[in-house]
Amino acid sequence: MTTPTKTSNLTPEASAAIARETGEPAVLAEIRARAARLAAELPLPDPHEERPWKYFDPRTLELDGADPAAPPAAATAADLAERFSLRGRQYAGVAIDANGRVVSLEGTDPSVGVFALHAPDVPADLAAAYATTVPAERSRLSALHYAFARGGIAVRTAANAEPSAPVRIARWYEGRGALFAPHTLIVTGPNSRLSVIEDCRSAGDRVLVLPAVEILPGPGSEVRYTVLHRWGADTWVVGEQRTVTERDSTLVSLAIATGGRLVKMHIESALTGRGSSSELYALTFGDDHEHVDFYTLQDHIGADTRSDLLFKSALKDSARAVYYGLTRVGLGAKNADANQENRNLLLSKTAKADSDPQLEILTNNVIRASHGATAGPVDEEQLFYLQSRGLSRQAAEELLIWAFLGEVLDRLPDERLRAEIEDILQAKLGR
C-alpha cells in the first residue's frame, strides 16, 4: 500500500473549523474528528494491489494542493435556481448546495422531509443513520470525505408515502484548487415510494469532489435515485454510493456522466433483505480526455434477491471508460437472480474502453447469474442496411448512436430533464 503524504490544507484543524462553521450536532462532529485522524493514518488505495483502482492512481489527485476552506459561491440561490431550471416545475422538495453551503431548502409535500444534514437542527434519526452505510474506515479518501463533508442533504419519507413528484438536489462548486465533500442520505419509511434527482455541476477551474451517497430503503419501499454528473472540464470526482436494502425493498439507480476530467464512482448494493432488488443503470458520453471509471458490487446476501445492471458508454476523441463489476451471491442468497451487462461504443480510433464484469457464486441454488461485455465501433452491417434504405452514412450512424443511448435515456424520470441531457449529448456528438 502507498504511504499517505503530508498535506498543507487537509488537517484536523481545518476539519474542526468546518464543524464550528456548520454548528453540526455532536454526533456528526465526533464522526468528523475521528475521520480527520483516520485520514492522517490510512493509505491511499494502491492501483497495483486493489483491483477497482487498476486504471487510476489516486496520487494524481494532487491532494497536497486541495483546499477545503473554499469561500461561499458567487452565485446566489436565485441564480442557481435559474441555472438548474428549477423554476416552473413541480417537486416534492428542492435543495441547493453552493460551495458546500445549503443556500435553499424547500418542501411542498408533507410526507417528504428535506434537511440540511450538517445543520444544528437535523433530526436525530438522520444524524444516527449518517456514516452507517459508507464507513470512513474504507480508505483515506473515504476518511477525507467525512473529515471535510459539508453541504450534506438528507431526504426522508414517512411510511406509505407516495409523493407525486421527485425531490431535486442541485449542487454547484467553484474555486480553483477547492475540495468539496458533498453527502447525500436517503431514508424511506416502510411501503413508500420516492424519486430523488441529484444534479452536480461545477465551473471550469480545477476542483476536487469527494462525494458519498447512502441509501436506506425501508421494508417494502422503492427508491429511484438519479445522479447527473455534469461537471466542468477540470473537475475530478472520486466518490462512493452504497445501498443496504431491507425486506422487499427496491433500488433503481441511474447515473448519467456527461462532463468532468475524471468521474470515478464506486456503486454498491447490499441486498440483505429477503425479496429485495437493485437495478443499476449508467450512461457515459465521453469526449476530449475525459476518464469515467465505475466499480460496482451487486452483493446478494438475503434469499430471493434480484439485481440487474446495464452500464453503457459512448466515447469519442481520447476519452476512456473503465468498468469493473462484481456480482457476488452469498451462501444465504438462495434463488438469487442476477444480471450484469456493460456495453461500449467507440466513436474514434483513440477512444478506449476497459471492461471486466465478474461473478462470485457461493451457492448452487441460483435462478440466474449472468454477465457480459462488448466494446467496438458502430456496426458496419447495420450502417449498410440503413444506407441501403436511403440514409446517408452520417444520418445512419447518428440513428444507431441514439438507439444505443436511448436504452438508458428512456429510464430518466423527467421528460424536460431528458431534453436537457439530449441537448448536451447532441453538442458532444458535434452533429
Domain residue spans in the chain? 1-271, 279-298+308-376, 378-431
> Does residue 6 carry a pLDDT above 70?
no
> Does residue 2 carry a pLDDT above 70?
no
Residue pair 207/174 in contact by the 8 Å Cβ criterion: yes
User: In this predicted model, what pLDDT tens digit does every residue of 153-186 receive, in sequence order?
Assistant: 999 999 999 999 999 999 999 999 999 999 999 9
For 277, list phi and psi in degrees, rounded to 5: -145, 155
pLDDT at 185: 99
Half-sphere exposure of 262 (CA within 13 A, CB side): 17
User: In this predicted model, what pLDDT tens digit does every residue of 306-341 receive, in sequence order?
Assistant: 999 999 999 999 999 999 999 999 999 999 999 999
* Single-letter code of the amino acid located at 90: Q
pLDDT band, very low/low/confident/very high, at 1 (cuts 50, 70, 90): very low
pLDDT band, very low/low/confident/very high, at 414 (cuts 50, 70, 90): confident
Q: What is the DSSP string of 159-211?
A: TT---SS-EEEEEEE--TTEEE--EEEEE--TT-EEEEEEEEEE-SS-EEE--
Distance CA 295, CA 244 (A): 17
List C-alpha distances in Å: 215 to 133, 266, 357, 382: 8, 14, 24, 41
Interval 391-418 mean pLDDT: 91
Residue pair 38/143 in contact by the 8 Å Cβ criterion: yes
User: What share of the chain has pLDDT > 70, as a percent?
Assistant: 98
Residue identified by cell 468539496 is: 180
SS3 369: strand
> Does residue 5 carry a pLDDT above 80?
no
Distance CA 337, CA 234 (A): 40
- DSSP letter at 290? -
pLDDT band, very low/low/confident/very high, at 297 (cuts 50, 70, 90): very high
Residue 255's nearest CA partner among 273, 267, 245, 270 is 267
Q: Report H helices in 71-160.
A: 77-83, 124-129, 140-148
Element at 223 (helix H, strand E):
strand 222-230
Distance CA 415, CA 176 (A): 34
> Does residue 4 carry a pLDDT above 70?
no
* Single-letter code of the amino acid located at 84: F
Element at 22 (helix H, strand E):
helix 12-22
- DSSP letter at 67? B
pLDDT at 7: 47
Cβ-based neighbour number of residue 301 at 10 Å: 20
CA–centroid distance for 302 within its chain: 24
How buried is residue 37: exposed, middle or buried, by Cβ count under 10 Å (0-12/13-18/19+)? Answer: middle
For 405, list phi and psi in degrees, rounded to 5: -70, -35
Mean of the per-residue pLDDT values for the chain?
Answer: 95
User: In this predicted model, what pLDDT tens digit does every residue of 199-237 receive, in sequence order?
Assistant: 999 999 999 999 999 999 999 999 999 999 999 999 999
pLDDT at 270: 99
pLDDT band, very low/low/confident/very high, at 62 (cuts 50, 70, 90): confident
- DSSP letter at 261? S
36: its cell numbers? 480527520
Distance CA 274, CA 29 (A): 35
Residue 305's nearest CA partner among 332, 331, 271 is 271
For 90, list phi and psi in degrees, rounded to 5: -95, 120
Half-sphere exposure of 118 (CA within 13 A, CB side): 26
> Does residue 384 carry a pLDDT above 80?
yes
Distance CA 209, CA 202 (A): 10
pLDDT band, very low/low/confident/very high, at 64 (cuts 50, 70, 90): confident
User: In this predicted model, what pLDDT tens digit does every residue of 250-277 receive, in sequence order?
Assistant: 999 999 999 999 999 999 999 999 999 9
